[in-house]
Amino acid sequence: MKKIKNISHARIAEHMKQLKNAEIPEHAGTAEHFRNEWKYLISTSEKELLELRMKHLLKKDPHASDGGYMIRSLYFDDYWNSAYEEKESGVLMRKKYRIRIYDYSDRSIKLERKKKFGSYIYKESAPLTREEVEKILAGEYEFLLHSPYSLCREFYIECVSNMMRPRTIVDYDRVPWIMDTGTVRITFDCDVRAAVGGYDIFDPTLATLPVLEPGKLVMEVKFTELLPQIIRDLLPPQSAEFTAVSKYVLCYEKTRYLNGFEYWAEN
């Protein structure tokens, strides 16, 4: 195991001062309104039945070619594993950071922060380049300090003060459905798996391990205001909503004994 990178309090204070005084053109990035997010663990046969009922009320997301897409997310946690421990303890207000790509491609790369307030979710994002992701993986965070996106600058503070580091890679295949209004979204996340052997999110050859029982998948129902009763009636009556488990937790627990904890040494 490499030594934890030694960041002095004086260095952190200096960086905070630079961040406060820097004249950086501000870009808002993207942020969603607070939304509800319900999760269900269902079977493949339940998914097929639900889709038969949904096709008259919802439509496939037009951004999804061939009806779906593959998502890969690299999750980060701090020195104390706060994101994991707070999730396990059921803390009502918590957050987690991730870098997300689609279909192993570097065409769209996002740094995301997902905040949870009870049953409400708030997600923010900022674009990254492949070169910037590679710098983060190498422990080079200085460029984040000068980013026009506040999310990147705040992530910089997390990295240098709380030792935010990669923890696990989560892969799954998503089939998204939406209502015409766009305020209701139902997704089926199939073949949820954890990558092992490294944190290079662009490497399609990383070995993966399944984290759900065969024939099981995650259904998510997301809405910003009220969920129409006609959609409520579609929800699987026999499936237990599982809000205490997340894909991140499942994948982290599956791989932590393989990945271990590795921090970058001071150059």
Total domains present in the chain: 1
* Structural domain of 148: 9-259
The identity of residue 154, as a single letter, is: E
Name the token pair of 101. Answer: 């790509």
Name the token pair of 99. Answer: 């870098």
Residue 190: closest CA among 116, 247, 110, 111: 247
DSSP SS3 for 130 = helix
Domain contains 106: yes
Domain contains 2: no
Can you tell me the distance from the alpha carbon of 160 to that of 144, in angstroms, rounded to the nearest whole number? 11
Return the pLDDT at 145.
96
Residue 182: closest CA among 224, 119, 232: 224
Averaged over successive runs of 10 residues, the pLDDT of the chain (267 residues) comes to 49 59 60 81 93 92 86 97 91 95 97 90 96 98 97 98 97 93 88 95 96 95 88 75 77 82 43
Domain contains 150: yes
DSSP SS3 for 81 = coil
Residue with tokens 């998948």: 217
Domain contains 123: yes
pTM of the model: 0.85
Can you tell me the distance from the alpha carbon of 35 to that of 126, in angstroms, rounded to the nearest whole number? 19
Return the pLDDT at 161.
96
Specify the CATH number for the domain of residue 185. Answer: 3.20.100.30
Domain contains 235: yes
Domain contains 266: no
Domain contains 265: no
> Distance between alpha carbon 216 and the CA centroid of its chain, in Å?
20
Can you tell me the distance from the alpha carbon of 23 to that of 43, in angstroms, rounded to the nearest whole number? 52
Q: How many Cβ atoms sit within 10 Å of the Cβ of residue 156? A: 22
Return the pLDDT at 153.
97
Domain contains 267: no
The identity of residue 251, as a single letter, is: C
